[in-house]
Amino acid sequence: MPSNEVFNPSDNSSIVTNSEFFYSCEFRGCDFSGTSFIDCSFENCTFLNCNLSNIRLHETKFFDTTFLECKLIGITWPYSKIPSTFSASKCIFDFNIFSKCSLDSFSLTECSFKEAFFQDSSARKCDFSRSEFSDARFENCNLEKTIFYNTSNLFLDPDENIVAGAKVPIDTALLMLKKYQIEIAE
């Protein structure tokens, strides 16, 4: 069980990705692209400037884990057990699928979610501030009190999602009204 260790790119080949528990570890600049993590746990860990694109997560758990400036492209999250304590800043989550996930109270700020798909998921009180959502879709999601301050290219369909109390930018609010052919008069 690695504990309080720092892993660098030269350590990639020695990191066990099957039934391993990592506690208070830091991963700096590691390239895990295409790796399968099977029955692993990461608790109180930090990933800094790592490439985790196209990883496969089978029964893998993250507790109090932070991702900073990481690439997490093309990940399907339903095969992992996403906990209620997860944060990311300045990360790329493009082409991710979040299906039946709980992202409640997560902080995912200044991230890119281009063409991400959120389905049957809950992101109540999640903070997506300053994030990019080009061609992202939300279907049957609970977004109550979710924060979307200063986001770009966000569209939410209030008929397909619970959006009560969500904080959205004005352009998103106008798009939501357009569906109902409502015009704002000055």
What does the alpha-carbon distance between residue 174 and residue 118 come to, in Å, rounded to a whole number? 21
pLDDT one-digit tens code per residue, 69-92 = 999 999 998 655 555 567 999 999
- Looking at per-residue confidence, does 145 or 184 come out higher? 145
The two tokens of residue 3 are 């504990």
pLDDT one-digit tens code per residue, 58-70 = 888 889 999 999 9
The two tokens of residue 79 are 């095969």
The CATH code belonging to domain 1-92 is 2.160.20.80
**Segment 147-159 mean pLDDT:** 95
For the chain, domain boundaries:
1-92, 100-186
What is the model's pLDDT at position 13? Answer: 63
pLDDT one-digit tens code per residue, 22-31 = 999 999 999 9
pTM for the full predicted model: 0.91
What does the alpha-carbon distance between residue 145 and residue 147 come to, in Å, rounded to a whole number? 6
What is the model's pLDDT at position 79? Answer: 55
**Segment 143-161 mean pLDDT:** 96
Sequence-separated (6 or more) residues with CB below 8 Å from residue 114: 94, 95, 132, 133, 134, 135, 136
The enclosing H or E element of 146 equals none
Q: Which fold has domain 100-186?
A: Pectate Lyase C-like (2.160.20)
**Segment 118-133 mean pLDDT:** 96
Position 156, amino acid: L
Instruction: Give yes or no for residue 169 having a pLDDT over 90.
Output: yes
- Is residue 141 very low, low, confident or very high in pLDDT (cuts 50, 70, 90)? very high
What does the alpha-carbon distance between residue 88 and residue 90 come to, in Å, rounded to a whole number? 7
Could you tell me what percent of the chain has a pLDDT over 70?
Answer: 94
